[in-house]
Amino acid sequence: MGTADFIVVANRLPVDRSGTGEGEEQWRPSPGGLVTALNPVMRQADGAWVGWPGQADLEVEPFEFDGMQLVPVTLSAEDVELYYEGFSNDTIWPLYHDVIAAPRYRREWWQAYVRVNRRFAEAAADAAADGATVWVQDYQLQLVPRMLRELRPDLVIGYFHHIPFPAYGLYSQLPWRRQVLEGLLGADVIGFQRVADASNFARAVRRQLRYETKASGIRVPTEDGGARLALAKAFPISIDADEYIRLAQRPDIVARAAEIRESLGNPKKVLLGVDRLDYTKGIRHRMKAFGELLEDGRLAVEDVTMVQVASPSRERVAAYVQLRDEIEQTVGRINGDFDTMDHTAIRYLHQAFPREEMVALYLAADVMLVTALRDGMNLVAKEYVASRVDNRGVLVLSEFAGAADELGTALRINPHDIEGLKDAIVRAVEMPAAEQGRRMRSLRKKVRDHDVSDWSREFLEALDAVRRARS
């Protein structure tokens, strides 16, 4: 039994290896809202973070970093291939994103997923103090809650699902559907991004396991013949809004935004897309719509430029290799057809940028295009809104992104409806300043009133209620 009163279990540690030197200098904090949200809790509660250090076959002893105890879980190259690239990202990811790409079901992937989930559960069990709170994160670790409960019934266990949970008709395809549901129900609180995701989960539980569900509660049978109540409900995640506001007001970042517009030829309007290179993000759909608008003469390359940031993602998975090729071909075709000597139709950037550069891009962009075909939340939409301290700019937002539930004054679109998407882009480009201000003020109030610290506080309060009910 360990000493940590609060433990986060995630696929990755909140640090990246920056070198091969000895001691703390070889690690640097990794960017991400989850780290920002949980840092204060970790500091207050003698917290530990269990996760993979990000490199295959890297064996590292537990160490302290920035006030957190980090517990590395070693994954072999085979583990990465089968558990992570295979089952997590070639089975669960496409299945849970409405089968936009076809999921593949391979028994050796499932066996690796079980094996690695057990390793994470054992590491968490070893690190946890008596009666500790453990918060498991995301789809790579859906079996951990039950495994952890079997190892340490004294723990209070939470699980948060960062991606969508599919409708039962899709979920039922999974050969190991019962095992995954039973794994998740090991948690006392199971959080989802949207009410619809929580409802899909509850329906799968009723259909597969025949457990009683009522409101947000699920009665889970216990070994002694009784039952305990698991809470399954929506806890929509957010961002550190104040940090984006602070960055957006920095003179050097404001100046960088002006440089970006100048480097694009100072077009009248800049459209921006920021995504991981993923088939769920609708990048091809927005490029098709933009290309047709140029072809139709409704937009001119001298007046409007699109910037597409597509950060590298899962580059060893075949579907992602194909997607990159398709997008690069589309960019080349559109630019070949419409570029002039002074203006480029699409500035395509297949790379990741630091947060400061992203905020400069948000400030430079008149229109933010979020055209996800399916998305748990989409924090880029919220980052753009928080950065617009001038209350200008237009957010074009897919109704299939979780953020659409909260950001009601965005221009909502169905990315599959290319004509509707084209009309929304033109409306955004032509929107009067007064309407921009009215919509953006409403969006910014929503993002500021519910930031990432509120998300973590609400989830942890639900876990505290479980603890109080036990005592």
Closest-CA residue to 422 (of 261, 288, 315, 252):
288
Structure tokens at 195: 């009410």
pLDDT digits (tens, 9 = 90+) for 266-289: 999 999 999 999 999 999 999 999
What's residue 21's pLDDT?
A: 54
pLDDT exceeds cutoff 90 at 229: yes
With the C-alpha atoms ordered 27, 28, 33, 38, is the resulting torsion angle positive or negative? Answer: positive
Name the pLDDT band for 32 (thresholds 50, 70, 90): low
pLDDT digits (tens, 9 = 90+) for 185-215: 999 999 999 999 999 999 999 999 999 999 8
pLDDT (average), residues 26-50:
77
Q: How far apart are CA 401 and CA 417, in angstroms?
A: 15
What's residue 319's pLDDT?
A: 81
Q: Are 232 and 202 in contact, with CB atoms under 8 Å apart?
A: yes
Q: Of residues 357 and 16, which shows the higher confidence score? A: 357
Q: Are 64 and 42 in contact, with CB atoms under 8 Å apart?
A: no
Name the pLDDT band for 33 (thresholds 50, 70, 90): low
What are the two backbone dihedrals, phi and then psi, of residue 432, each rounded to the nearest 5 degrees?
Answer: -65, 155
**For the residues of 105-151, what is the DSSP string, one character each?**
--HHHHHHHHHHHHHHHHHHHHHEEEEEEEEEESGGGTTHHHHHHHH
Q: How far apart are CA 198 and CA 171, in angstroms?
A: 13
The percent helix, strand, coil of the chain (3-state, each to 5) is 45, 20, 30
What's residue 29's pLDDT?
A: 80
Percent of the residues in the chain that have a pLDDT greater than 90, as a whole number? 86
pLDDT exceeds cutoff 80 at 106: yes
Mapped onto helix, strand or coil, the DSSP state of residue 346 is strand
What's residue 16's pLDDT?
A: 84
pLDDT (average), residues 39-47:
76
pLDDT exceeds cutoff 80 at 34: no
Indicate the residue type of 125: A
What's residue 38's pLDDT?
A: 78
pLDDT (average), residues 35-55:
82
Q: Are 1 and 127 in contact, with CB atoms under 8 Å apart?
A: no
pLDDT exceeds cutoff 70 at 31: no
Q: Which residues contact 439 (CB under 8 A, 6 or more apart)?
A: 394, 395, 409, 410
What's residue 22's pLDDT?
A: 56
**Helices 241-248 and 251-263, packing angle to 10 deg:** 70
